Amino acid sequence: MYFSGLPEQTGRALATAAWGWHAETGPHVLRLAAAGVFARHPDLQIVVGHMGENLPFSLMRADAVLGKADPDAPSVAAVIREHLHITISGYTTTPPLLCALQVFGADRIMFAADYPFGDTVEHATFLREAPITPADRDKIAYRNAQQLFRL
């Protein structure tokens, strides 16, 4: 539907891993926050993959627009930052990681390799060579997962 009129393989790729999954998942997380799910379940923590499903890039805009729609509602960005963890799965380039770090901070990002679709070695190499501090690398590589999942 979104990508009709294209070669079949191209349309399928755009509708799924290249764009569609990310464009579809982020709004569901926003809806959870806007609907008060986290207020009703204050201990709830969720994890989404793919470097936050476009949320790091768009969260502040969504927060500003939603804040105008309902000035009495809590900041959606603040709620999401308190209840969401993201993984780097599927993303092995620096700009998305730096954006995620600026928006969510290293305490909310975890390693994942998008298995079986992603290459684990490529993801591990990316994290090892990423231009981040050793402390942030350790958090992303394993410390955050240890804490969240009580490993």
Active-site residue set: 114
User: Rounded to an integer, what distance in angstroms lies between the CA atom of residue 68 and that of residue 129?
Assistant: 41
Q: Which residues pair with 109 in a beta bridge?
A: 86
User: Rounded to an integer, what distance in angstroms lies between the CA atom of residue 119 and that of residue 98?
Assistant: 21
In the block, residue with structure tokens 């290459």: 119
Residue 4, CA distances (Å) to 19, 23, 70, 102 in order: 14, 17, 36, 36
- At residue 86, φ and ψ (nearest 5 deg) are -125, 160
User: Rounded to an integer, what distance in angstroms lies between the CA atom of residue 137 and that of residue 54?
Assistant: 21
Give the H/E segment covering residue 109. Answer: strand 109-110
